[in-house]
Amino acid sequence: MSSAAPATASRPAPRPGVVARLADRLPEDWRERATALPGPMAPPVRAGTATPRIAIIGSGFGGIGLACRLRQAGIESFTVYEQADHLGGTWRDNTYPGAACDVPSHLYSLSFAPKLDWSRRFPPQEEILGYLDGVAEDFDLHPHLRFGAEVTDVVFVEPDDGTPGHWSLRFADGSTDEADVVVSATGQLNRPYTPAFEGLDDYEGHAFHSARWDHDHDMTGRDVAVVGIGASAIQFVPEIVKQARSVTLFQRSVNYVAPKPDAPFSARTRSMFQRVPALAKLYRASIWARFEAKWIWFKKDSRTAHWAEGLYKKKVEASATDAVPADVLVPDYPLGCKRILISNDWYPAIFQPKVRIVSDPIERFEPKGVRADGATYEVDTVVFGTGFQSTGFLTPMRVTGRGGVDLHQTWKDGAEAHLGLTVAGFPNLFLLYGPNTNLGHNSIIFMLERQIGYVLSCVRRLTEGGAHLIEVRPETQAASNDQLRRELDDTVWAEGCHSWYKTASGRITNNWSGPTYRYWLRTARPHWKDFVGSAEG
């Protein structure tokens, strides 16, 4: 293992957690044993210790969270590569009107970097991005951030002299770099998807994807078409309706839309959290527990879900009108098979006279509008709410492992990894928010923190445990994914509905197969017998 000179930081390493601080004070022999503690619980690395060169690709919650934990562990030999000119990931990219999170703010934040003065129960986009900026400042990450660095190729280099291999990174500008460890933190929802509609190039109006919102385009008095009604459209359509002359919604399927229990935090509540941070921790834990209890809805043939589905349909059908009939309001698939959405202004918006809903498939675009079921809907603006290329993990980067094996060729039938984190044949490569780690019922930040802890344990193994490479055994990966498939077969996602959780062939590549506590247990610490070569011990 080679070591890199640490990045120049203007402030000392941030203070680690309580367990790590206590372990750091143990007698030397006990402290040495404590370095094997899981992830962030281990004492910080001693000053002057050689540490691996770590390349983190992406500066969203995963990349920033891992960078914070590395600094807490006393590891400075890392760089966060970001292709944009600012950090933030999806919360930098999605700036459409009404953009907000559907997970409560106190749970949609890093547990070790709490924000005690959230303005609302569900945070808006600007506040989440501001939170990430604040975390980067508090943990002094800017010396480690490299913006405008688009990684195009990641290749594992195996020297002829038998020394441990390393990763070679190539960037869009032709420059290169090397690393001992590569961590992909590019996420699942980072590449907007726009279907290749016939005639789209001939459309004379203005068109853009919601994740690339054109804020210079004024919607006032416009005739707007929205193609695709998902989690983003649920938020931006009510804002468009306030301004546009008419809004035509082209929806492929209907969503379950629940009320959003949102409200501003009172000044008294914010002050109480700031005075007694333990109360904020308890509040966070209570949110996690309540959301975790919802997992029962996602079991196949869940009686609780069937009961909730019946109540929902009965209420929504009662509100149907001639202009907005029940078939455009009531889903034809089980509750939870697609993402459950929350909004308080969706239904008030779509029942306005200026809104029309088209469920017929789009046939083609024409110069003045959109054609569906033989009718042309004239519009001067089209907004695509058609989601993301969610199953193409790590693309468009080219990732080449041992023996010249192409990762995307390995994944041609659907991406998979051991616990969503490591892939056989790709040593010292780790994935954050990788295959089968998405959720339908709880906070992805909780999952990311489990993954960050796992990666940190592996980095500590490379630093102090005598390992040079960490590579999961193929049989371990196969066994864990066989178990995953069996568990997924018992979920509502195995039903026949189409969703971004699946590949075109129907393989579920995005979602975790159970409650989050199960993932927590499986990733609490790496089992070194599951790894080949120098990781064994």
Kindly list the structural domains of the chain, giving each domain's residue range(s) and its CATH number in brackets, ordered by start.
45-191+390-475 (3.50.50.60)
What is the 3 state secondary structure string of 77-132?
CEEEEECCCCCCCHHHHCCCCCCECCCCCCCCCCCCCCCCCCCECCCEHHHHHHHH
Quote the CA–CA distance of 455 and 472 in Å, as a whole number. Answer: 13
Distance CA 339, CA 255 (A): 8
Give 220's pLDDT tier (boundaries 50, 70, 90): very high
Measured CA to CA in angstroms, residue 517 lies from 131, 152, 299, 497, 522 at distances of 26, 35, 16, 27, 9
CA 230 to chain centre: 16
pLDDT recorded at residue 536: 60
Q: Look at residues 176, 346, 174 and name the one whose alpha carbon lies nearest to residue 254.
A: 346
| Model pTM above 0.85 | yes
Task: Tell me: pLDDT of 235 over 50.
Answer: yes
pLDDT in the model for residue 11: 74
Task: Kindly tell me if the per-residue pLDDT of 496 is higher than 90.
Answer: no
Over range 7-15, report the average pLDDT: 68
pLDDT of residue 10: 52
Residue 461's φ and ψ, nearest 5 degrees, are: -65, -40
Asked if pLDDT for residue 193 goes beyond 60, the answer is yes
Give the Å distances, CA to CA, from 90 to 50, 126, 146, 205, 512: 34, 12, 18, 27, 20
Question: CA torsion sign, 524 to 527 to 530 to 534?
Answer: positive
Q: What are the tens digits of pLDDT across the range 40-94?
A: 999 999 999 999 999 999 999 999 999 999 999 999 999 999 999 999 999 999 9
Q: What are phi and psi of 383, to 5 degrees?
A: -115, 125
User: According to the model, what pLDDT value does residue 535 have?
Assistant: 60
pLDDT digits (tens, 9 = 90+) for 415-430: 999 999 999 999 999 9
- Is residue 63 within 8 A of residue 91, CB to CB? The reply is no
Q: Which residue has the tokens 């306030």?
A: 242
| Cβ pair 190, 89 in contact under 8 A | yes
8 A C-beta contact, residue 113 and residue 67: no
Q: By three-state DSSP, how is residue 381 classified? A: strand
Omega before residue 474 within 30° of 0, cis: no
What is the percent of the chain where pLDDT is above 70?
97
Question: Residue 46 gets which letter from DSSP?
Answer: P
Mean pLDDT of 484-511: 90
Q: With beta carbons less than 8 A apart as the criterion, state whether 180 and 2 touch.
A: yes
Does pLDDT of 450 surpass 90?
yes
- The predicted structure's pLDDT at residue 534: 58
- Alpha helix positions (H), 319-397: 346-350
Cα-atom radius of gyration of the chain, to the nearest Å?
24
Average pLDDT, the chain: 94
What b/e string do you get for 319-351 counting C-beta neighbours within 10 Å, with b at 16 or more? eeeeebeeebbbbebbbbbbbbbbbebbeebbe
**Proportion of the chain above pLDDT 90, given as a percent:** 88
**Residue 274: is its pLDDT beyond 50?**
yes
Burial class (CB in 10 A: 0-12, 13-18, 19+), 57: buried
Beta-strand runs (E) in 27-73? 54-57
Q: Mapping DSSP to helix (H, G, I), strand (E, B) and coil, where does residue 365 land?
A: strand
Give CA–CA dist 63/365, Å, rounded.
39
Q: What's the N-to-C CA distance of the chain in angstroms?
A: 17
The answer, yes or no, to whether residue 3 has pLDDT greater than 90, is no
Residue count of the chain: 537
Q: How far is CA 265 from the centre of its chain?
A: 26
Tens digits of residue pLDDT in 312-354: 999 999 999 999 999 999 999 999 999 999 999 999 999 999 9
Helix axes 277-292, 267-275, angle to 10 degrees: 110
Whether 4 shows a pLDDT value over 50: the answer reads no
Predicted pLDDT at 342: 96
Running DSSP on this structure, what letter comes out for residue 436?
A: T
Query: pLDDT at position 467, please?
Result: 87
Q: What letter does residue 231 receive in the DSSP assignment?
A: T
Containing 225, the helix (H) or strand (E) segment is: strand 223-227
